[in-house]
A = this chain, B = another copy of it.
Amino acid sequence: MADKTAVVLLSGGLDSATVLAYALSKGYKCKALSFDYGQRHGVELASARKVAAFFGITEHVVINIDLKKWGGSALTSDSIAVPDAGQYKDIPPTYVPARNMIFLSFAAAWAEVLGAREIFIGVNSVDYSGYPDCRPQFIKAFEDCASLGTKAADEGWRFSVQAPLQHLTKPEIIKLGVSLGFDYSLTHSCYNPSAEGKACGRCDSCMIRKRGFEEAGIKDPTLYC
């Protein structure tokens, strides 16, 4: 097994970039994995590439998967609008069915081929949109599932899905990234950007990001419409 190699899910957003900075700071050799899944904010992939370049990641794989085939989310269906922040108490329409399970499954596949046992993901269940696939009980269940459905089952090891931001607030996450020397201007969070890629400033993702910078006392580098 390659020593301390990890697959890091990298969306191009604030959280996953922080996770990559964190994993590198802990000495992991990181392979970055992104998805072009037909997301409305496909511009985030350009950010993912910038973030990977910033950290000198030599292996950054972008997998194409067309989740628009069935839509069902404001991020993968043109017929469902991105709501302004705060309109939903329950799971909002920006939730993409089974997205993190799909992403983690690909990450586990790549990790298995690499001989890596660790996967990093930027999920957070404090300042988040209420998505079920961001919660610790899901992450734990995924570890169990991946460890039973791969060679791990016969070879006596387990996958470890590391979610170092799980219990941090957004300002804590931003402070962590800044302390590690990261430049958040490279990231993109908005679900509903303009044609030029400017953030709407109104969606849940923008509001959580904005408030995070405010509460961290750090200047928000985002270009808003």
Residues of B near A112 (CB, < 8 A) are 72, 97-98
Residues of B near A96 (CB, < 8 A) are 109
With A98-B105, A113-B97 already in contact, the answer to whether A70 and B65 are too (CB < 8 A) is: no
Residues of B near A105 (CB, < 8 A) are 98, 101-102, 105
Residues of B near A99 (CB, < 8 A) are 109
A109: contacting residue among B70, B91, B109, B137, CB under 8 A = B70
Residues of B near A67 (CB, < 8 A) are 109
**Assembly stoichiometry (copies):** 2
Chain A interface category by residue count: 35 or more
Whether A101 lies near B69 (C-beta < 8 A) is no
Measured between C-beta atoms, what is the minimum distance from A96 to chain B in Å? 8
Whether B110 lies near A133 (C-beta < 8 A) is no
Beta-carbon contacts of A128-167 to B below 8 Å, as 1s and 0s? 0000110101100110111011111110000000000000
Interface residues of chain A, those whose CB is within 8 Å of chain B, are: 61, 63-67, 69-72, 90-91, 95-102, 105-106, 108-110, 112-114, 132-133, 135, 137-138, 141-142, 144-146, 148-154
